Amino acid sequence: MKKVLTFKEIDNLAFKIGENLVEGDVVALIGDLGTGKTTFVQKLAKALGIKENVKSPTFNYVLEYTSGRVPFYHFDVYRISEPLEIYELGYEDYIEGDGITIIEWANLIKSELPKVYIEISLFHKDEEAREVEIKVIGNEAREKELLKNVDFRN
């Protein structure tokens, strides 16, 4: 489902999504440069109780945060040249672990995403808003539940 939201509405949505994530969830975050992916992650992390300053791990590929209610693993795969490179970072340990994993630029490793994941896409709309699309790939019941819980329905 897609909706056009203001930046404040997107911040609130990210927080609500964070409140609804559970151990083992993988969030694939997709969007062009400047659509607000990292800001989205920061608001989501706040809902998880992350105390550290969450920043884009572009030059590290993955940053780990452990101060919240569950471990939080933040990937940025923008600089990966081919999807299989993700395994050199211990990717499977993160997505099969006890934390929540969020992957910026997840479209670049789509072939390596798990069978079930939450896909959030941000699209440029104008200077005041973005179009947001949320899907749960591989689990229709979870998608309905998540969209209801975060009030992202028509």
Domain assignment present for residue 133? The answer is yes
What domain range is 39 assigned to? 2-138+145-149
**Structural domain count, the chain:** 1
Indicate which CATH number applies to the domain containing 121. Answer: 3.40.50.300
Domain assignment present for residue 28? The answer is yes
Domain assignment present for residue 154? The answer is no
**Residues β-bridged to residue 126:** 129
Total residue length of the chain = 154
Q: What DSSP state is assigned to residue 39?
A: H
Confidence of residue 154 (pLDDT cuts 50, 70, 90): low
Q: What is the pLDDT of residues 12-32, one digit of tens each?
A: 999 999 999 999 999 999 999
Please state, in angstroms and rounded to a whole number, the distance separating the CA atoms of residues 97 and 43. 22
∠ CA(25), CA(28), CA(34), 5° rounding?
A: 140
Can you read off the two tokens belonging to residue 154?
A: 């028509």
Entry pTM? 0.94
Domain assignment present for residue 74? The answer is yes
Domain assignment present for residue 90? The answer is yes
